[in-house]
Structure formats: structure tokens, C-alpha cells
Amino acid sequence: MELIIIPLLLAIALQLFAKKSSAGDKIINLSAWLPVPFMALTLFVVVSSQIGKLSTSIDWIIRVIPIYIAFMIILPFISKLIGKWFKLDIESGRALIFSGSTRNSLVVLPLALSLPNH
């Protein structure tokens, strides 16, 4: 629970600080790029922790690769339609695409953990 509550409270405090201070606004602008490398690090850790399990199930992995590729090709178009539907600006539309892509990538963790032991 603390893993979620503490960062959430810190984020709220920083947002409030940014509204009242130019220093807080600078911190937010400087930290705006952090989600990308942290997401990459998370995916690296997830894949690294499961690589042994995945290497013994290569036949299953090969079967689902076309689904992931199709998803990654279709997702930008779906996101663009959703962005237009909700009248999102360009930056929000890009965030929608990034969010959808990374969430799909993180779905790999429960799938990897559910692989049967051989």
C-alpha cells in the first residue's frame, strides 16, 4: 500500500508546489522525461527475471509474437481515433499511444509468471 500511497502523495505535493513556485515548475519540467527510462528499466528487469522460464517455452512465444506485432501496428491508429473522439491535443495523443504500448508490454509479466514449469 505504501508503494502506491507515498509516490502519489509526493506527486500531489509537487504539483501543488509547482503551482505556487517557479522552482517547482522547473522540477516538473525537468522530470517530464523520466517515465520513459523508468519504463525501459522496468521492462528490462521483468524480462531479465523471467528469461530462464521464457527460454524453455520458445514455441509458445513464437505463436504470440504476431499478436503483439499486430497490436503495435494497430494501436497508433486506434489511439489517434480515440484522441480525435475526445479532442485531445497532440501531446496527449502521444501519451495515449505510449501508455497503451507500455501497458501492453507490462502484460508480459503475468503471462511470463503463468508459464508452466517444465
pLDDT of residue 108: 59
The per-residue pLDDT of the chain, averaged, comes to: 80
pLDDT of residue 111 exceeding 70, the answer is no
The Cβ of residue 77 has, within 10 Å, a number of other Cβ atoms equal to: 10
Report pLDDT digits (tens) over 45-71.
877 877 777 777 778 778 878 887 888
Helix (H) or strand (E) holding 7: helix 2-20
pLDDT of residue 39: 76
The Cβ of residue 111 has, within 10 Å, a number of other Cβ atoms equal to: 13
Which three cell numbers, joined as nine digits, stand for 30? 525537468
